[in-house]
Amino acid sequence: MANWHVFESRDDMVIALKVAIESQLQAAIEARGQASWAVSGGSTPKPLFQAMQNAPLDWRHVDVALVDERWVDYDHPRSNEAFVAENLMQGRAASGCLVGMKSDHATPARGVMEVNKRFDALSLPFDSLLLGLGPDGHTASLFPGAEGIEVAFAESATTCVALTAIQSAVTGEEVERMSLSAKAIQEAAQVVLMITGDEKKQTLEAALSGDGSLPIARVYAMKPFEIYWAP
């Protein structure tokens, strides 16, 4: 039985998500003096990020890392790192440490070793991890049929993996991707999926009740994450 949290409004969903994530991060800080939060890019998380800006956490002890990144520079309009910096790392959260997933290498495949060194220096496994969902059933940058997708789901996967997605309306031009592996997602203490609208609800329901081959279903089978949905 999937773990659905259904809300009448997006505002109500954001309030509930903020409570759940904030308490998880606070507990980590109290337990070991540090918390790590992995966040997706895209667009859905924007209101949650803005609500979390002034969460009463000791943000000096919070590492915020990317769940995935399009292989573009920070000043590119499709940079997830810039999206997170602009919408989350403000106010009190500006004291947090944002850990990006991009390196200066030409491709994710060439940059994956450096990015893994960066991520493996964090306080892992992640205390909280925020997933999104695309209409094609991808999550993070685990796109159906992507080159590298089976490496990304391997038991022996590194924290971060390089993928080349099949170009589609969902990927846009950014087919070169860096992503957390399914194993890194599985190992997170708290994993929540934040989705809105009927299309994504239907995509998820179909994926979870189908043959289990879509990335979001494979991740759910490894880690039955909490689902937060509003119209």
68 binds ligand 6PG (CB under 6 A): yes
**Which positions from 107 through 146 interact with ligand 6PG, judged by CB under 6 A?**
132-134, 139-141
Closest approach, Cβ 153 to ligand 6PG, in A, equals 16
> In the complex with ligand 6PG, which residue's Cβ is closer, 61 or 177?
177
DSSP the chain: --EEEE-SSHHHHHHHHHHHHHHHHHHHHHHHS-EEEEE--SSTTHHHHHHHTT-SS-GGGEEEEESEEES--TTSTT-HHHHHHHHTSSGGGGGSEEE----SSSSHHHHHHHHHHHHHTS-SSPSEEEE---TTS-BTTB-TT-BTHHHHTSTT--SEEEEEPPP-TTTTT--EEEEE-HHHHHH-SEEEEEEESHHHHHHHHHHHHTTS-SHHHHHHHHS--EEEEE-
For residues 168 to 197, the per-residue mask of contacts with ligand 6PG, x marking binding by CB under 6 A and - elsewhere, is ------------------------------
Q: Give the residue, chosen from 80, 128, 186, 190, that forms a contact with ligand 6PG under the rule CB under 6 A.
A: 80
Options 23-31, 42-50, 53-61, 116-124: segment touching ligand 6PG (CB under 6 A): 42-50
> In the complex with ligand 6PG, which residue's Cβ is closer, 139 or 181?
139
Options 24-32, 39-47, 100-108, 159-167: segment touching ligand 6PG (CB under 6 A): 39-47
- Site residues (CB under 6 A) for ligand 6PG? 40-44, 67-68, 70, 80, 132-134, 139-141
